[in-house]
Structure 1
Amino acid sequence: MFNQLFFRSDALTRQLSAPLVDERRQYLALCAAQGMSKCTMEVKARLLLSIAEYLRLAERPNDTIALPEIKKAASRWSRHNWPSPKSSQAKRSREYFTAQAAKWLTFLNRFRTPPKPASVYDQMLAEFRAFMEEDRGLSPATVKGCCSSVRPFLIQLLDGRRSLQTITVSDVDSLLAQKVNEEHYARVSIRDYASSLRSFFRYAEMRGWCPVGIAASIMAPRVFKHETLPAGPTWDVVQEIVDATAGDRPIAIRDHAILMLLAVYGVRSGEVGRLQLTDIDWQLEKITFTRSKMAGTHSFPLSPSVGAAIIRYMKEVRPKSLHRQVFLTRRAPVGPISNGAMWAVVSRQLRKRAPSLKHHGPHSLRHACATRLINQGLSLKEIGDHLGHRDVEATRIYAKVDLARLRDVADFDLGELL
């Protein structure tokens, strides 16, 4: 490993003669497997020597190191390289030293993290999560969303180690009102929060954690039916953003493949992120997605244009990696692309071409796909099957979104029939 990074004899000798040579070699091998460049690994190799020296790692091989000690060592190291501690370079160097030391020590199993005190609400949420997964059979995405909504409320409600037995409906109403008045949440968001809280308090009442009647008393703002119709770009705009990424830059090649999948199949961003190499059957020309909400898989015929975009990405851009996901990060450490990165892929294109849209994320392309299928004359059942809807009502809403067709109906001349 060191022979590949250093060619000067003095630099190579220093690396090989310094303490913890095996530990440093193993960590650098991991960095190489994550796709880091030779230049980055050379910088890391030099820094590992300083980390080992300033933390005296070889002198106490059985000790674990806590974050405060790492920060003190980072300050001493930074002062040696940047005499002015208040300069931006000194600050960045301290942060870099601290971050890299924590990663290396974690790899060595020598990073000591302070024990997180277990709170009452953590145990409650763990049992509530198990109830939703095992007893109710809800999907992981639904369970995660519900717990994410309930957790911040419990932190505030149980502030100061209050017992859930002392919580009243007024306490819950006050926090919901705060979301509206101070944080300016939309009515739909408050409705979803209230729904999650009702689910939790129904379970809490069943377990005897809180007084009976709180769940039934949690009120949500009235949201009119179809008040929030799904809004997506027109299909012309979708074609524009797909065409805009049909270039030769690596990021354009990757984005083009992602946009094609989102637009053609109307899948969710998480379903694209979970797509694995084995999910594409090139011989049978079939692609299979793992659904986010139905806890199952859904197979589609592999469109030639989509297949061509994926093949080009895999041949020209995709980093070599042990990860089985199709889409990976472009920079090291290489790993599966996140939902945030997926959102950015769509957003940076839609904001340019459809700035008036309320939402610019991947889900808007799902709405555009559904509306296009409506325009092509497919039945609600066929569209629901394509989108993976279990309830036809979830699909029926798209019939109300297609305003152009509704106007055609309104303008239809009945002629002599009247």
Structure 2
Amino acid sequence: MISPALTDALARWLDHVRAIDGAAENTVKAYQTDVLAFLAFLQTHHGDSQGINAIKCLTVSDMRSWMAHERGRGVAARSLARMLSAVKSFIRYMAERHDFDPSAVLMTRAPKFQKKLPRPLAVDAAKAMIETAEFQAREHWAALRDVAAITLMYGCGLRISEALGLKGRDAPLADVIRITGKGGKERIVPVVPAARDAVEAYRGACPHDLADDQPLFRGIRGGALHAAQLQKTVAQTRMQLGLPATATPHALRHSFATHLLNAGGDLRSIQELLGHASLNTTQMYTAVDTARLMEVYKSAHPRASGRK
């Protein structure tokens, strides 16, 4: 059983993460789940009620036992690394407020895993995705809606949640729009003419009243368009074009960044357009570009390909 004092401390930490770090609500919920799972393990591991003193007395052995337990349950290395990050953050917060040294525990290493690089679409495949999406919906206005949303994701680098989060007041789209992304962080995004035209075509055909305070993108019955429906449209389009399973809505955002980089865009500007908090996140696109370059090298270079 987790003591009331520790339960209260966890709640205060989550409020801190929400308010000070600006974490999105989904992130906060994930942190809560991860730390609660860790505390539940400690209770089983030590066989008694867990209070604040249990956090003060944590050892490296405790951390390793917990990680071994999670791996034994089938938790992947990537997920465990995320869980460890949340637990460390909580321990660091507790140490600052209860005056104990967490250094040894915080030195616990995350399991190694291979980072998955984003799989952007080729330029012609992205164009084909937009053109073919129009044929997935039965209603003409819904087809225009899907094209508009997909064009926004590829043309402006929006997340699916950001595109579907637009309100009636946001249209007609200006040359730049203000987007609220993860953690409530705002950024200014230029709007390409193709995206603006696609949204206007949809608005002109939509049978529902697109009031200022209501969602811009609507479902067939007039409610907000759900991400699952747009994902289904992209999946149908992908299969029709014979594209790989990696051709998802988020891949359109990756494609936006990669194609900008290939056209000479600098990382700092792309970071701002994508709303990445850290430049390190954006730098993965240089790895994508390098990986593609190496593939070309291996297939074309006489020595690399084994030709003489």
TM-score (norm 2): 0.75
Q: Equivalents in 2 of 1:315, 1:125: separation in Å? A: 50
Query: Could you tell me which of 66, 78, 82 is aligned with 1:188?
Result: 78
Query: Identity over the aligned pairs, expressed in percent?
Result: 21
Matches for 1:70-109 after TM superposition, within 5 Å: none
Q: Are the structure 2 counterparts of residues 239 and 375 from structure 1 closer, same or farther at C-alpha, using a change threshold of 3 Å?
A: same
Determine whether 1:236 maps to 2:124.
yes
Matches for 1:3-14 after TM superposition, within 5 Å: none
Q: Equivalents in 1 of 2:179, 2:27: separation in Å? A: 21
Q: Are the structure 2 counterparts of residues 395 and 252 from structure 1 closer, same or farther at C-alpha, using a change threshold of 3 Å?
A: same
| SS of the residue 2:177 aligns to | strand
Q: Equivalents in 2 of 1:338, 1:177: separation in Å? A: 38
| SS of the residue 1:307 aligns to | helix
Q: Equivalents in 1 of 2:124, 2:199: separation in Å? A: 22
* Structure 1: gaps of 5 or more residues: 1-117, 414-418
Query: Could you tell me which of 148, 155, 166 is aligned with 1:257?
Result: 148
Aligned to 1:373: 260
Q: Equivalents in 2 of 1:179, 1:329: separation in Å? A: 40
For the Cα contact (< 8 Å) 2:31–2:83, is it kept in 1? yes
Aligned to 1:219: 109
Aligned to 1:140: 23
Q: Equivalents in 2 of 1:407, 1:217: separation in Å? A: 37
Paired letter, 1:315? G
How far the C-alpha of 1:401 sits from its partner, in A, is 0.7
Query: Could you tell me which of 277, 286, 290 is aligned with 2:168?
Result: 277
| SS of the residue 2:283 aligns to | helix
Aligned residues: 285
| SS of the residue 2:261 aligns to | helix
Paired letter, 1:394? T
How far the C-alpha of 1:124 sits from its partner, in A, is 3.3
Deviations 1:346-367 (A, max 9, x none): 344335546644x454222111
Determine whether 1:129 maps to 2:14.
yes
Q: Are the structure 2 counterparts of residues 309 and 178 from structure 1 closer, same or farther at C-alpha, using a change threshold of 3 Å?
A: farther
* Structure 2: gaps of 5 or more residues: 303-308
For the Cα contact (< 8 Å) 1:266–1:367, is it kept in 2? yes
Q: Are the structure 2 counterparts of residues 210 and 291 from structure 1 closer, same or farther at C-alpha, using a change threshold of 3 Å?
A: same
Paired letter, 2:154? A
How far the C-alpha of 1:163 sits from its partner, in A, is 1.7
Matches for 1:169-188 after TM superposition, within 5 Å: 169=59, 170=61, 172-185=63-76, 187-188=77-78
Q: Equivalents in 2 of 1:350, 1:212: separation in Å? A: 49
| SS of the residue 1:299 aligns to | strand
How far the C-alpha of 1:127 sits from its partner, in A, is 0.9
Q: Equivalents in 2 of 1:183, 1:275: separation in Å? A: 39
Further displaced range: 313-322 or 370-379: 313-322
Determine whether 1:245 maps to 2:114.
no
TM-score (norm 1): 0.57
Higher relative contact order (CA 8 A, sep 6+): 2
Aligned to 1:115: none
Q: Equivalents in 2 of 1:183, 1:384: separation in Å? A: 34
| SS of the residue 2:255 aligns to | helix
How far the C-alpha of 1:128 sits from its partner, in A, is 1.0
Q: Equivalents in 1 of 2:202, 2:69: separation in Å? A: 47
Paired letter, 1:295? K
Deviations 1:167-213 (A, max 9, x none): 6455554443344333342x222222211111011112333399845
Q: Are the structure 2 counterparts of residues 119 and 342 from structure 1 closer, same or farther at C-alpha, using a change threshold of 3 Å?
A: farther
Determine whether 1:200 maps to 2:90.
yes
For the Cα contact (< 8 Å) 1:256–1:309, is it kept in 2? yes
Q: Equivalents in 1 of 2:242, 2:196: separation in Å? A: 27
For the Cα contact (< 8 Å) 1:199–1:215, is it kept in 2? no
Query: Could you tell me which of 282, 285, 288 is aligned with 1:398?
Result: 285
| SS of the residue 1:289 aligns to | strand
For the Cα contact (< 8 Å) 1:146–1:196, is it kept in 2? no
Aligned to 1:307: 196
Matches for 1:47-86 after TM superposition, within 5 Å: none
Aligned residues: CA RMSD: 3.5
Aligned to 1:57: none
How far the C-alpha of 1:221 sits from its partner, in A, is 0.6
For the Cα contact (< 8 Å) 1:173–1:219, is it kept in 2? no
